[in-house]
Structure 1
Amino acid sequence: MVTNDYYDARNGVDVPSPNEDEGGGQYEHYHPLANGDLPYSLAKTFDSWLYAALLFSSAAVPGVIPRTMVIGAAIITYLYTTVLKPRTWIKNLSCAALVAMSPVTSGLAAWHVLTDGHFVTKLGIETASRLPFHLIFKSRLSWLVVSLFFGIMSREILMDITDCEGDRNADICTLPVKYGNKYASSVALGCSVMSALAACGASRSILNFVDLAELFMNAPVRRGLLSFIGSWGLLYRTARVYRTRGEDVTLAEQA
């Protein structure tokens, strides 16, 4: 985020509100670099230290593949603003994928620690452990990854709606700039629906219960209720933006 804000302010994407002198700077606190509240040198130094700390700490990540995923994610975040952000769809997909893969990275690292990189076969032969792809794609973790992916996609598109004017002036071809706010809000709503369905997917066994007393004592039901509450909040806020055809920037910012 610091890298993105730094380049956005330098490239003119983030600008102070035109009504700032009249006390109507609605988004002033979101752009301290563009407003001159923070010097560019301070942001650049702080960002450099963040990346240095990230690369240093990545050496402690267990497992080659999780460590590679962490370093690869760091490279993507650095290239995001200058290379990925100007490309329609790519910027949203890259952000969503980075967040969605974080549980997979953590899971693979934990699995490497638990198995110590090896496992014993049924014949008692110790061999190099294989990646548990069946645990990733045939468990509740897959629902979490899908839910995070579409949820972040929706949020990124809503943020593009709020930054539409700045992106247009900087020739950044986001969904609202290329297709309009109405189309962008429709895609955001669709992503929110997919995120909500995936969040409740792991708790689909609720329909198999009949006894209400027993129903609310089961962990799957509690997970389902929590998923429903969180998903409803996301859907409700995104639907409010959709009803305005993406023209109400304030609602998009609040979503």
Structure 2
Amino acid sequence: MKSNLSHKEIYCHDSKQISWIINNRRTQNNRFLITDAALDTTDDFLENDGLVHKLPFNNIKEILWGTDEEIRNYLQDLFRIIWNEVSSVNNAYQIDKELFMSDYVPYAKYSTYWNILFSVNNVYPAILYGILEDDVINNIDSARDSALLYFYEKCKSDFEDIFLEFANRTKSFSKINKVFLKSFIEDSFIPMLNEYQPDDHSLGLRVKKLIASDLAHCASLVYDTTLNNRVYLTNLINASSVYIVKLEDIQRNQYRLTNNEL
């Protein structure tokens, strides 16, 4: 936002703070970048002074967080940053990252095959499981990224609501690290995540279970010709394979991400 005003005309008591804000510079005097005084104060003549009065913002919220439109433009990046923090290994919130990501069928498929193929107990090559090892290795990272995008699209509306509500009522950056942790992450974000935790209705978790319980027998079925229940296992594997393809189609048709194909 451009202005013809000098820094001193914007905030007469400590004009260098305006320069610090513009250059994203934090000092002992502005640990959280924008101080309350720089936002809204009065000058020596008791005239309104500070960013909210001297620049064309509608309110303090627009200065600290942006307009609603500007907030929506960075919400997805913000979600990813917060998600990576709260779902890290040994996180304090007991968020099972793999559980959430496995709600997405392609990731559920590749991650389950990854666990099978690279288990210390596995003695069979990937081809005996009806899959190529290179396919698993080459696709698991992109499937994980798409899984997070899929999850974001599911909770996007609720995430937007809780963040806009937080932004509207948080009118200061003072101790914002502690405020954001308690008032947003712990009081709003984590409860929202828990509402979206995948359960038995999850198509991805169904696929994960089918591969682990049925398709995992493919290798032994091919390798061991003496199995007594070969016909049963063959029919079971064929039925599960068809069902997995159908589940992936159902999920793809139900949730098409904006400008992205699942």
TM over 0.5: no
From the two aligned structures, give the one with the greater helix fraction. Answer: 1
Name the TM-score class by shorter chain.
under 0.3
Higher relative contact order (CA 8 A, sep 6+): 2
Bigger Rg, structure 1 or 2: 2
